[in-house]
Homo-oligomer: A and B are copies of this chain.
Amino acid sequence: MSEGAKTDAIHVAASETAADVREVTRQRVVEAAADLLAREGRDAVTTRAVAAAAGTQPPAIYRLFGDKDGLLEAVVEHGHATFLATKHRDTRPQDPVEDLRAGWDLAVEFGLANPELYALMYSDPRRAMASAAFQAGMQILLGRIRRLAAGGWLRVDETLAAALIHATARGAVLTWLSLPEDQRDPALLTTLRESMVAAVTHERPVVQDAGLADAVRTLQALLPGQTTLSSAEQHLLSEWLDRLAADG
């Protein structure tokens, strides 16, 4: 019996290591694909290139993932999982609205840091919801939203809140990435975030009475139509107005 138990244990251990080996190579292939995606773009992710980078052969990919789409799905899953890991870091029950902001920022920063992966994860409408790690992340998000609701902050449906958070984050990342680098204004991200907070919660945004900047903007828009000032004067005036708007 002890012998039987021993062999059983050995067998179990052996099959475990066999499954582990399979899982390890699977992980190696996924990481090779993710690396290739991040470094050389989506078109560089061919079955042959991934197999070569992972030190195996093309048919192995089909034995592991069934399909190239299966491989990409695994890469997406891996992306959601790594993002989820950074998300789990701090879950201290501080201000739930502040938690909402932090979670949104984290998601956006992840997208900006991994543009190709983000495009694969979110730009294809069909693949978006299918991931298990994505569902786990969704549960975390819904937990945050639930806490908002419990605190009396929530302004809309919980599901609508989740959709709003996703939509603003997606729009933020994709628009940011589509802008040329010299036109990327960080205010785009913060404004979208506060916009999202205002739409989801009851927290009134600090109504800045920044009348100066508004007056400057209005005047700037109306300046081209005036005929009083010379072009040199108008040019200098416009410069000063810019400075006023920037510092105001």
Q: Give the interface of A toward B (CB within 8 A).
A: 115, 119, 122-126, 128-129, 146, 149-152, 154-160, 163-164, 166-172, 174-180, 183, 185, 187-188, 191-192, 194-196, 198-199, 202, 206-207, 210-212, 214-222, 225-229, 233, 237, 240, 243-244, 246-248
Q: Do A175 and B179 have beta carbons less than 8 Å apart?
A: no
Cα A119 to Cα B174 in complex, Å, equals: 11
Q: Which of A155, A195, A217 has the most CB of B within 10 A?
A: A217
A160/B187 contact (C-beta < 8 A), A123-B119, A129-B180, A226-B212 known = yes
One complex includes copies of this chain to the number of 2
Q: A188-B167, A212-B222, A214-B152 are in contact. Are A125 and B129 (CB under 8 A)?
A: no
Give Cα A247–Cα B178 distance, bound, in whole angstroms.
41
Q: Are A199 and B191 in contact (CB under 8 A)?
A: yes
B180 contacts A170, C-beta separation under 8 Å: no
Q: Which residue of B lies closest to A164 (CB)?
A: B191
Given contacts A164-B191, A226-B212, A228-B243, contact A218 B149 (CB under 8 A): yes
Q: Which of A128, A244, A246 has the most CB of B within 10 A?
A: A244
Complex CA–CA separation, A20 to B230 (angstroms): 48
